[in-house]
Amino acid sequence: MDSDFLLVGGLLIAAFAIPAAVSAFSESRPPRAAAVALALGGVLIVAAVLQRPTGYSPAQIPAAFARVLARLLH
């Protein structure tokens, strides 16, 4: 799997974990699903950074999103 896909997938999963955690805390439930999603997103992000020899800088993240979107649409 391409490192761009891993990075974008990890960032999206981690981003979706935030509203899940807020929802769980507001309803006085333990945020188990949010914790699992955040851990999975973190693992994917670390795998993407380790798989790419030069790593990713924060300025390269929008370009990675664009490359993944272009591959999905093409």
The domain tally of the chain equals 1
pLDDT tier for residue 48 given thresholds of 50, 70 and 90: very high
Q: For the range 66-70, what are the long-range contacts, defined as Cβ-Cβ under 8 Å and sequence gap of 24 or more?
A: 67/4, 68/4, 68/5, 68/8
Quote the domain boundaries for residue 45: 3-73
* pLDDT at 1 exceeding the cut of 70: no
Q: What is the mean pLDDT of residues 12-37?
A: 95
pTM to 2 decimals? 0.88
Judge whether residue 74 has pLDDT over 90: no
Quick one: pLDDT at residue 55?
85
Confidence of residue 35 (pLDDT cuts 50, 70, 90): very high
